[in-house]
Chains A and B, each alone.
Chain A
Amino acid sequence: MATRSTRSTKPSRPAPRTSGGRETGGGRATGKIVAAANGHAGSAKPAPKFKHAETGTLEGVWDYAPAPETVKVKIDAQYGHYIDGRFRPASKGGTFVTINPATEQPLAKLALGTAEDVDAAVASAQRALPAWSALPASERGKLLFRIARRIQERARELAVLETIDGGKPIKESRDVDIPLAAQHFFYHAGWADKLQYVFPGRTPRPVGVCGQIIPWNFPLLMAAWKLAPALACGNTCVLKPAETTSLTALRLAEIFDECGLPPGVVNIVTGAGETGAAIVNHPGINKIAFTGSTEVGKKIAMAVAATDKKLTLELGGKSANIVFDDASIDQAVEGIIEGIYFNQGHVCCAGSRLFVQEGIAAEVTRKLKVRLASLRVGDPLDKNTDVGAINSREQLSKIEGYLRIGQSEGATLCQAGRSPLPKTGYYCQPCFFTGVQPSHTIAREEIFGPVLAVMTFRTPEEALLRANNSPYGLAAGVWTDKGSKILEMARKLEAGVVWLNTYNKFDAASPFGGFKESGFGREGGVAGLRSYVEL
């Protein structure tokens, strides 16, 4: 897989600027630096000019050389569905191409699942169900442990594949996605034979065949979040990965094969919206689990309403990050950055609304700009990249549309980063809007990109009012050094997950899910097991 360096020539030093906009009061020194002889690397440094922080850039300051990930991953030219323990080609539906969003190059052809394919998958899952649920629970646990271990052994390959297929930085796939996926399998492997302690006094039984539809932002991790609890509780699954990111799910199928998972316990059908609809509408499915947009989630809820299928939904969010003036401000800025620019903002629980107490708004805005300048946007396979490629052209157009709407509605766009974006691939410079009003579109609708809306508040009551003033209720973050205030805010925020003085911390033991239009049902922890058992 050819990797591109983000800069083909040595960057030129930026032209010296006057300190326009900064007052030069008497006695403020902008004098020359007393440099030691032989400075560094023998290059003569020109006398540094004063650079206002807003336009400062890291170019020319000890640049990082490209550090591409060198492991090559084998990808077949064509993949079929994984049904009944075998890979089989599409029946009649044809194929579609999956590309690398960083290079726009095609990676493989995938099968477009039709109703027949879904039928075969569900039938296979139904056939496998009796034997699988009759298996001693510790045997199921043993298989899940084996799968978890195999994911760890193939971690590097999976991380590179995840990055190539989805566009997220290799640093994140390697350090967050793959370890968390393995952790989910380990965690639920432990629960497999202890379900009677989760539901005391009841005999939990499997729900049956689970239809699971997952999104493109955390392909392997979402597959783990869906499959691990389902299998631990004795269910069989039909999984449909997102059409832009199916490769890691299919690699997971190979791992299931290696570990000896009985055929039909997990079936993977690739495809797009119609394939998903076929799964949702299939009468043989006993439970649907969906993670994706609220719009599609509502359609699924309507389709399932007249049936006796169980349903859990993990939908969108417009989560609020609230920073009080007694917060640890530099660390809060770190948390804000983590909350919205992690995974290019393609996170359902991204902290996309920032509420900063009015007295520190100027300071926080200034520090955000400085911090943005040190975010590296570029080739996702470079180990130093912080913000990778946007997952698809459609998503990039959506984000750019929101940027235009935001500016037309009167908000001010701040894009402090100056690292040049690669010429091919779908990239968006991380940015934030100031001068945002709560009724602006960018303050109400989920953008799902590296775009932050900054607003202010005066008192804790007002912060709660504004944070809860949203149809979504997935997550929130609160930043203050005062313990009583932070716990009270956590109690009163209408969000399924509240992070205190931190953000985007996930664990298999911690239940994740939303309020209001962010969905219902939980994944992870004891609460996450509930929807996969019949009591």
Chain B
Amino acid sequence: MAVLNRRAHGLLRQRNNCGANMAPVARSAAARHGMWRHEHHAQRQKQPPCHAFGDRPALPGDRAPWPLSSPMHPSARIARRPVDKVMAESRAASFTKRSLKSHTKSSGLRMAISMVDLTTLEGKDTPEKVRSLCRKAALPGDGMAGLDDLPPVAAVCVYPALAATARKQLDAYGDRGRAVKVAAVATGFPSGQFPIKVRLDDTRRALDAGADEIDMVISRGSFLAGDTAKVFDEIAAVSELCRGPARPRPGAGAGPGPGAGASGASGTPTAARAHLKVILETGELETLDNVRLASDLAMAAMSSTGLTREPGAGFIKTSTGKVEPAATMPVTLVMLEAIRDHYHATGELIGMKPAGGIRTAKQSLHYLAMVKETLGTLESGAWMNPSLFRFGASALLNDLLRQILWLKNGRYSARYDFAEA
């Protein structure tokens, strides 16, 4: 008859997460003779091999290693839409065949300048580097002849520690500088491999430093492991920080409660505290199916907090610029199509920002053609505007200036004729 001690008796009732019984096997004293004491504990009931652990028996405290998204989570309701890579690439290539001449080209180049997010995101960034970037941002024309009527860029994009410096420097350039936004990358840019508390704290500090826009990174590890719920929740959390507290409607008696979201019932949204851009890091997601799913997740998450009721308060962005490939035309096309579907489903206008890899003015014009032909029929072409479309770039700006001067003079300027930011 088996003699079981009290601990073993308790274990009889227990099963670990893999469903295996945990009670030790009763062995005769004679069989245990010669074993060390700790080996007695090891004489358990033979556990069935658990596939999760590579056929070793399950031990107490084991949990199934794969995070599982609950089917009740809102992220599970997002339809997985396949994307055909060959057709997407050929459609993206068709925009490069557009012949953009004369007034189309000149107005396109100016529009592209107004859409640039001038970026410096290096470990060796210093306040002086950011100051020279801000000068370039507010006055892209450098004061060169023929370039004096250019718009300022849309934003400068820096690390949070330098956001305050950027804001101060931009304000020194008057109206032009004040129109340029400061975008801070937050949430553990670029990898995002930090606990959520750290990432949210990073975001709060960036907001406190005066950032107008936050560029967050999603957790690609969770995404590729299938934990879309976690990705959704993290984006929603950052999105709530950016949305800020609900402000009471002016002149309202009993206004909505503090958690009621940023929109009044009249339909005019109150402004979010900061705009949010969600970086999907498409180079690490690799497939277009993943890009589409990540885009849909990000938009659903931002939308669930009410941030995106204000047009242009939410963006989806391709890359951090630290991973190759960064932005490509097929990836951008898929994201624009996702934005279009979201618009048809909800009426919300979400922006798009391809970042990294766009170095020439010609490329930027191809992207503008793509935005026009994908989203141009909606809202009278609202996306052809910096409030809904940006270029994350640094080298692009000088090539835009070069092409504008060429249109005016008929001659190409030298590389060194334009100040480096």
A interface vs B, CB < 8 Å?
Answer: 13-14, 24, 26-42, 45, 48-51, 53, 56-58, 60-67, 171, 175, 326-332, 334-335, 366, 370, 373-374, 383-384, 481, 501-502
Contact = CB atoms under 8 A, between A and B. Distances in A.
A41 B111 contact: yes
Interface stretch (B78-86, B197-205, B247-255, B278-286): B78-86
Contacts of A334: 87, 90-91
A26 B114 CA distance: 34
Contact of A328 (B84, B98, B114, B377): B84
A65 B377 contact: no
Interface in B360-383: 368, 372-373, 376-382
Contacts of A51: 377-380
B381 A61 contact: yes
B87, B344, B373, B388, most chain A CB atoms within 10 A: B87
Interface residues of B, number: 62
Given A334-B87, A501-B87, A370 B377 contact: yes
23 contacts: A27-B263, A27-B265, A30-B347, A31-B268, A31-B311, A34-B310, A35-B386, A36-B386, A37-B152, A38-B114, A38-B179, A40-B151, A48-B381, A56-B377, A62-B107, A65-B105, A328-B87, A330-B88, A331-B87, A332-B84, A374-B373, A384-B98, A501-B87
B11 interface: no
Nearest to A10: B103
B108 interface: yes
B324 interface: no
Interface in B264-314: 265, 267-269, 271, 309-312
B121 to A, nearest CB: 22
Interface of B: 81-84, 86-88, 90-91, 97-105, 107-108, 110-111, 114, 149, 151-152, 154, 175-176, 179, 263, 265, 267-269, 271, 309-312, 337, 340, 344, 346-349, 368, 372-373, 376-382, 384-388
Contacts of A501: 84, 86-87
Given A40-B111, A60-B380, A328-B81, A33 B388 contact: yes
Contact of B107 (A13, A40, A329, A330): A40
Nearest to B154: A36
A68 to B, nearest CB: 9
Given A65-B102, A171-B97, A502 B87 contact: yes
A326 B79 CA distance: 11
A39 B114 contact: yes
Give the 6 A-B CB pairs with smallest separation, nearest first.
A56-B377, A61-B381, A331-B87, A37-B179, A67-B99, A38-B151
A194 B316 CA distance: 56
A14 B154 CA distance: 28
Nearest to B347: A28
A64 B385 CA distance: 17
A329 B81 CA distance: 8
A65 B101 contact: yes
B271 to A, nearest CB: 8
Contact of A28 (B103, B346, B381): B346
Contacts of B99: 64, 67, 383-384
B379 A65 contact: no
A18 B347 CA distance: 15
A246 to B, nearest CB: 29
Nearest to B88: A331
Contact of B372 (A36, A62, A326): A62
B30 to A, nearest CB: 60
Contacts of A60: 380-381
B379 A50 contact: yes
Contacts of A31: 267-269, 310-311
B337 A330 contact: yes
A79 to B, nearest CB: 31
B347 A331 contact: no
Contacts of A41: 107, 110-111
Contacts of A48: 379-382
A24 B267 CA distance: 10
A329 B114 CA distance: 33
A171 B105 CA distance: 19
Given A37-B152, A61-B380, A331 B110 contact: no
Contacts of A366: 344
B82 A481 contact: yes
A33 B271 CA distance: 12
B380 A29 contact: no
Nearest to A14: B380
Nearest to B175: A37
A330 to B, nearest CB: 5
A67 B102 CA distance: 9
A32 B387 CA distance: 11
A273 B101 CA distance: 44
A402 to B, nearest CB: 27
Contacts of B384: 40, 61-62
A35 B84 contact: no
A497 B62 CA distance: 56
B104 A63 contact: yes
Contact of B269 (A29, A42, A171, A175): A29
Contacts of A33: 311-312, 349, 382, 385, 387-388
Given A38-B179, A40-B107, A40-B114, A373 B377 contact: yes
